Structure 1
Amino acid sequence: MATDLVNTAPVVRRSTGEVLVEPPDLERFLTEHEVRPDALARTGTPSDDDLEEVRTLRQEARTLLEAAAEDELVDGATALIRRAGVGPTLQRDGQGRWQWYVTTAPGAPLADELAVLLGTGLLGALRTLSHDRFRHCASQECDGMFVDTSRAGRRRYCMPEVCGNRQNVANFRARQQRR
């Protein structure tokens, strides 16, 4: 989710611009990621302030993804968790399956709840995959970020269906022109 949030920025989406323009855009992002923060249970929908705070969090997440040293990433992700984190719990979901739930402090703002989720996810990815799996998109047209979760560790694009496809089309056209 951290990389997906980072990749909503206008610096990444050069051709389409900002993805999180209005609070309903943030609500859609949360729904797509199946995130149901307590803050929205209290307020119903994200506010303009929530949107601005999440955009700030987005830049913080990018800074962590670009961290040169593992310790810097760990310190930053731990700070995100401490904003509102209470601790993880294992509970059954609606289908009876065991799921991890990250518990946050009562009354925590939306951005702090997301910070806890992002920090937890980044630490899990670092521990499981290693720091060298945190990468920039290889496309010259994109400034996106991703965590390479592929088995072989050879993923090159933040959104293979977009950035990878563009590169493949460009390579195809270049080959056709050389003929």
Structure 2
Amino acid sequence: MQLALSDYSRGAELATALISTAPRVWHGVEKLTSAAEVDDLLAAHGFAGSCTPAELGDVRDLRAELRAIVDEIVDGEGVDAVVRRASTLATGGLTLGGGDRPDWVFGSDAGLVDGLAAVTGMGLLGAVRALGAQRFRACAAAFCEGAFVDVSRAGRRRYCMPDLCGNRVNVAAHRARRRSAG
């Protein structure tokens, strides 16, 4: 699992996706119940990897650490918190990637969890450096305890899972308007 240093957004998006699987976000329901679900999450974000059942607990522990990093920024702890904590995750090495436009890539061949930690740690470091701490946010939906890193171009994302939280908020607002109009 590798990530070009110039492509931090993929790592930050993967970190956000991992955070969004936590029971805290899903009102006590664990969304990473099997190694296959980790593989599906990785594939959905363009990363190859094969999680073993033995690694599942370590992936969940990494998820908790990623959430703690995002929470520190959301709570105003500052950039130093991200740099300190995410740097400890980013344990892989730099290598020169191939292709038409070679770029330095960051990753780890030590195993799935170390590679995942390296990619997400670099994603968070890149996001805070390129976009600033204001892009680390708590979900705007009152019913949700999610958190995310907004790596969108416009920087106006409000929900940890726009298709779920954003849709629920919009449907509730629509129903409220219909009730008050009728």
TM over 0.5: yes
Q: 1:13 offset after TM fit, Å?
A: 2.1
Unaligned runs of at least 5 residues, structure 2: 1-13
1:41 aligned partner: none
1:61 aligned partner: 66
Q: Structure 1: which amino acid aligns with 2:47?
A: V
1:12 aligned partner: 25
- CA deviations 1:105-150 (Å, max 9, x no partner) are x5x2321111000111111111110011100110012111221223
Structure-2 separation of matches of 1:90 and 1:174? 53
Structure-1 separation of matches of 2:90 and 2:51? 21
Determine if contact 1:22/1:48 at 8 Å carries over to the other structure: yes
Q: 1:98 offset after TM fit, Å?
A: 4.7
2:107 aligned partner: 103
2:56 aligned partner: 51
Asked if 1:21 corresponds to 2:33, the answer is yes
Give the structure-2-normalised TM-score: 0.82
Q: Tell me the percent identity.
A: 42
Asked if 1:91 corresponds to 2:98, the answer is yes
Q: Structure 1: which amino acid aligns with 2:97?
A: L
Structure-1 separation of matches of 2:95 and 2:127? 16
Determine if contact 2:107/2:119 at 8 Å carries over to the other structure: no
SS of residue matched to 1:14: coil
Structure-2 separation of matches of 1:155 and 1:103? 28
Structure-1 separation of matches of 2:118 and 2:84? 13
- CA deviations 1:72-115 (Å, max 9, x no partner) are 11111111013xx11143321xxx565653232x5x23211110
Q: Structure 1: which amino acid aligns with 2:35?
A: P
* Aligned partner of 1:2 among 15, 19, 40: 15
Determine if contact 1:3/1:145 at 8 Å carries over to the other structure: yes
Structure-2 separation of matches of 1:8 and 1:98? 34
SS of residue matched to 2:97: strand
Structure-2 separation of matches of 1:148 and 1:75? 20
Q: How much is the aligned-residue C-alpha RMSD, in angstroms?
A: 1.9
Higher relative contact order (CA 8 A, sep 6+): 2
* Aligned partner of 1:166 among 161, 168, 171: 168
Q: 1:18 offset after TM fit, Å?
A: 1.7
Q: 1:22 offset after TM fit, Å?
A: 0.8
Determine if contact 2:96/2:102 at 8 Å carries over to the other structure: no
2:84 aligned partner: 75
